Amino acid sequence: MSGLEAVRRAAVRLFAERGFAATGIRDIARAAGLNSATLYHYVGSKEDLLTGMLRESQEDLLRAGREAFAGSADPAVQLARMVRAHVATEAVNPLTSRVSDHEVHSLTGPGRAVIVGLRDDYESLFHKALARGARTGQFLITDLPVARYALIEMCNGVADWYRPDGRLSVAELQDRFSELACRMVGGRLVRRAECDPPVAITRLSWEPLTPAGPEQASA
């Protein structure tokens, strides 16, 4: 593990456990086994670190979402593929996902607009699939923005409770969420095989390698 990776992983773990505001740059340096001056050389300020983390996390989610969306012209398959990609991303990168889900408001600099823009682009993929399915009659949607929020929120929750050593594999987790999402919008159920080839999910260089946090519960 490089020094940069050590800093990134220490930062994600501390931000996820204590929150960004409660974490000092010295805490990160100590956890990474560096002094503060060396840490500054690697990553700059604490806000630079959070900006970089959220940027890479949101870019990766957007990349996965675009790949999921582009894999089919059928809105039901698009939705199933996007939900599968989202929950797998959260399951593989739980701490980074939690920081991404909760700390956007901690950004005060110009980086914030970039992150919000990436998130908007991601949400617009869900909007497109839902709108198209509603138009073709494949989905029954009374209120598109509310359906989109509910879908994304239920996927975001995965980072809080999923455990890789629990009773569900990532592929089974994807099956469960795909089914719930398809039902939620009144669509047909999309089988796993229809979503082949699956979107590749990467462990971010930021994500700590061992699960942490006593607040995680098994499914």
> What residues make contact with its own copies under the rule CB under 8 A?
17-22, 102, 104-105, 140, 142-143, 145-147, 149-154, 156-157, 160-161, 168, 173, 175-177, 179-180, 183-186, 213-215, 219
Is residue 161 within 8 Å of 216, Cβ to Cβ? yes
Residue 37 beta carbon to its own copies: minimum distance, rounded to whole angstroms: 24
Residue 49 beta carbon to its own copies: minimum distance, rounded to whole angstroms: 16
Query: DSSP code of 164?
Result: T
Residue 61 or 71 with smaller CB distance to its own copies: 61
Residue 28 beta carbon to its own copies: minimum distance, rounded to whole angstroms: 15
Residue 71 or 130 with smaller CB distance to its own copies: 130
Residue 4 or 172 with smaller CB distance to its own copies: 172
Residue 33 or 213 with smaller CB distance to its own copies: 213
Angle at the Cα of 13 from the Cα atoms of 8 and 14, rounded to 5 degrees:
100
Residue 162 beta carbon to its own copies: minimum distance, rounded to whole angstroms: 9
Residue 17 or 67 with smaller CB distance to its own copies: 17
Which pair of structure tokens corresponds to residue 199?
A: 């979107």
Which pair of structure tokens corresponds to residue 141?
A: 């949607």
Q: At 107, phi and psi to the nearest 5?
A: -80, 130
Residue 1 beta carbon to its own copies: minimum distance, rounded to whole angstroms: 26
Is residue 84 within 8 Å of 20, Cβ to Cβ? no
Query: DSSP code of 151?
Result: H
Cis before 211? omega within 30: no
CA 91 to chain CA centroid, Å, is 9
